[in-house]
Amino acid sequence: MIQKLQDHDYLGENLLNEYEWLNEVRLTVEDANLETISWSAFHSSKQRCNSVEISLTSLLPLFQEQAHSVAMIKHSMDKVKDLVNFLNPGQTPIITADQPLFVLAKQIQWEWPEMYGEDKFIVLFGGLHIEMACFIVLGDILRDSGWTHSLIEANIATSGIADSFLVCSNVPRTRHAHQITACALCELLMSAYFGDIILIIQKMIPLVMMTL
């Protein structure tokens, strides 16, 4: 049975996958015989669910002309709008673009709001630039928190490289640093949780013995 898009919890499913990976990493820390699995290797080994086979995106034929011009971006937006209205009348078209083309698309929206206004068209960054923007926001939050100092003390990165994580100068390195941070926080959280359970059990044992 194929599920409808609105009936499928993609966010919850992806969060469960991330917690599963964190648990796998935690188990490798506890057992030296287990091989540490990276984030990319873990997710590439996961099989797709066969019950959901509906695509959220569409790739149109490539243009032979240069894309970085107002005329070509307008033409692309017109084609996307026509196709969306044909397949699903009334739906607001959504397109993604890399940073230079995103700028042109936003300029078109501001120049011709009656045809391409933000209430008629949704323009998003591409996946890479969305990830970079998220890492930069995380860098602003973590600035002066001691995060980079912790990475330096753990010999994960040098001072210059650790500071570059705050502005996402290198996406793979920054992503890897946040993955390591997530694993470390998960391990500390689980250690504190099980430590509290042990303390509770130790306090309960005398009470149980008194009732016997």
Q: What number of CA atoms fall less than 13 Å from residue 10's CA on the CB side?
A: 10
By DSSP bridging, strand 94-97 and strand 122-125 are: parallel
Of 25 and 78, which is predicted with more confidence?
A: 78
How far CA 94 is from CA of 10, 34, 175, in Å, comes to 19, 44, 27
Whole-model pTM over 0.75: no
- pLDDT one-digit tens code per residue, 56-115: 666 777 777 788 888 899 998 998 899 888 888 888 898 888 888 899 999 999 999 999
Model pLDDT, residue 143 = 93
